[in-house]
Amino acid sequence: MNASAISALAALVGAAIGGLTSVLASWLTQRTQVRAEWRAHDRVRRQELYKEFIEEATKCYVDALQHNEPDLNSIGSIYAKISRMRVQSSSEVADEAEVIGRKIVDTYLAPDKSFIEIREMLADGSIDILNNFSDACRAEFASLRAQLE
């Protein structure tokens, strides 16, 4: 092979490698950006679901403390959110949400609480049925953050 053919071949191979490198770099950058956007969207979606669940469960629990007749629409809404958590969330979060749902139903079956009993529940912390759920959510978000680092 003569020197000019080797030079031309080297130039073509170099151009091909340079082009391939550019394409791979663009693809990897795009893939990383899409993953980051998906994770951010997933986090926002979970935060919104947990916020809605906490608000709905709190309202339903307060109603259960005061009444024996259940608010079936609220209970249905809570269990719909629990089902969404089974799909979107860790099993720990979904399990804790399920515990809250059962506690609310059990509270409807218990006698109504007087204001004095509610004050005692506040004092001893037994009124906070969302504590373990909140801890599970916090741990899940910490785990998601750790995956990004």
Considering its fold, how many domains does the chain have in total? 1
Given a contact cutoff of 8 angstroms between Cβ atoms, the answer to whether 89 and 57 are in contact is: no
- 129 or 23, which is more confident? 129
Q: What is the mean pLDDT of residues 66-83?
A: 94
Distances in Å between the alpha carbon of 32 and those of 23, 43, 52, 90? 14, 17, 30, 23
71 falls within a domain: yes
- What is the greatest pairwise CA distance in the chain? 101
11 falls within a domain: no
59 falls within a domain: yes
Q: What is the mean pLDDT of residues 116-137?
A: 94
Q: What is the mean pLDDT of residues 38-66?
A: 94
37 falls within a domain: no
Given a contact cutoff of 8 angstroms between Cβ atoms, the answer to whether 54 and 93 are in contact is: no
Average pLDDT, the chain: 90
Instruction: Please give the Cα distance from 49 to 51 (Å, whole number).
Output: 5
Q: Is the pLDDT of residue 110 over 70?
A: yes
Ramachandran sector of residue 125 (left: φ over 0; alpha: ψ -120 to 50; beta: rest): left
21 falls within a domain: no
66 falls within a domain: yes
Read off the pLDDT band of 1 (50, 70, 90). Answer: low
Q: Is the pLDDT of residue 17 over 70?
A: yes
Q: Which tokens go with 141?
A: 């978000």
Find the Cα–Cα–Cα–Cα dihedral 96, 97, 98, 101, rounded to 10°: 130
Q: What is the mean pLDDT of residues 27-37?
A: 83
Read off the pLDDT band of 12 (50, 70, 90). Answer: confident
16 falls within a domain: no
Read off the pLDDT band of 45 (50, 70, 90). Answer: very high
4 falls within a domain: no
Which of the residue ranges 14-18, 51-55, 126-130 would you say has the lowest mean pLDDT? Answer: 14-18
Question: The domain containing residue 70 runs over which residues?
Answer: 44-148
Q: Tell the burial category of 24 from Cβ atoms under 10 Å away from its Cβ (0-12, 13-18, 19+).
A: exposed
